[in-house]
Amino acid sequence: MKNLTELLENYTLEGEELKIFEFPAPVLKKKAEPVTEFNEELQKLCKDMLYTMYNAPGIGLAAPQVGKSIRLFVMDIDFDREEITNADGEVEYRLTNFNPQIFINPVLKNLEGEILYEEGCLSVPGVYEEVKRAQTITVDYQDINGESHSIDCDELLSICIQHENDHLEGIVFLERLSMLKRNLLTKKFLKNKKKR
Ligand code: NI
């Protein structure tokens, strides 16, 4: 986990903000390719994705959401965001308690139980709906150095990993809903998007 700590220490709000692709962008519908090179370019992408995620703000971001069709997502289900007014009277956000996590080439297994949770997605802004997921999972993944790990997850971590892993399969959470809700929310989202 050494590099995660390094990344956290190096993490500042001066990173590069990446464009987040919104539904129905084609890159969100593609099955992503495995990551094969664990190099500086990958480290920069992870850092910029975390920066983009924290700024949005969101608790998870998958590479296809920033236009890169590779099997990688970043996540932080622990950070706090506090609204403060600076000396010029402008509103700023102070982020604390970072716990960034990076999952590369994840494989989900041992999906057990059922849990309902209201999900949202940075690629479908403004839409929130309850999705049924497995309650507990095991995820095998590689870290930023390419080293393999396996962890058992439950609750929000399990839910979030399943949501982000779906992005690597070209699935947006709307597709996990009943046909009725899916059609309704998709129509509403596309209509609002046109207005923006
Ligand atoms: Ni999402």
Per-residue pLDDT tens digits for 132-152 = 999 999 999 999 999 999 999
The pair of three-digit structure tokens given for residue 105, joined into one six-digit string: 């080439």
Place of tokens 């190099």: 39
- Cα–Cα distance measured from residue 32 to residue 194, given in angstroms and rounded to the nearest whole number: 28
d(CA 153, CA 160): 10
Paired with 116 in beta bridges are 132
pLDDT at 86: 79
Catalytic positions are 164
For the whole model, what pTM was predicted? 0.90
CA 93 / ligand 1 centre spacing (Å): 22
Structure tokens at 130: 């309850």
pLDDT at residue 59 in the model = 95
Instruction: Say if residues 159 and 119 touch (Cβ distance below 8 Å).
Output: yes
For residue 174, how far is its CA from the centre of ligand 1 (angstroms)?
A: 10
What separation in Å is there between the alpha carbon of 55 and the centre of ligand 1? 15
Q: Could you tell me what percent of the chain has a pLDDT over 90?
A: 74
Structure confidence at residue 89 (pLDDT): 86
- Residue 60 alpha carbon to ligand 1 centre in Å: 7
**Rounded mean pLDDT for each run of 10 residues along the chain, 196 residues in total:** 48 77 97 96 92 90 98 93 81 80 97 97 96 97 96 96 98 95 94 85
pLDDT of residue 8: 54
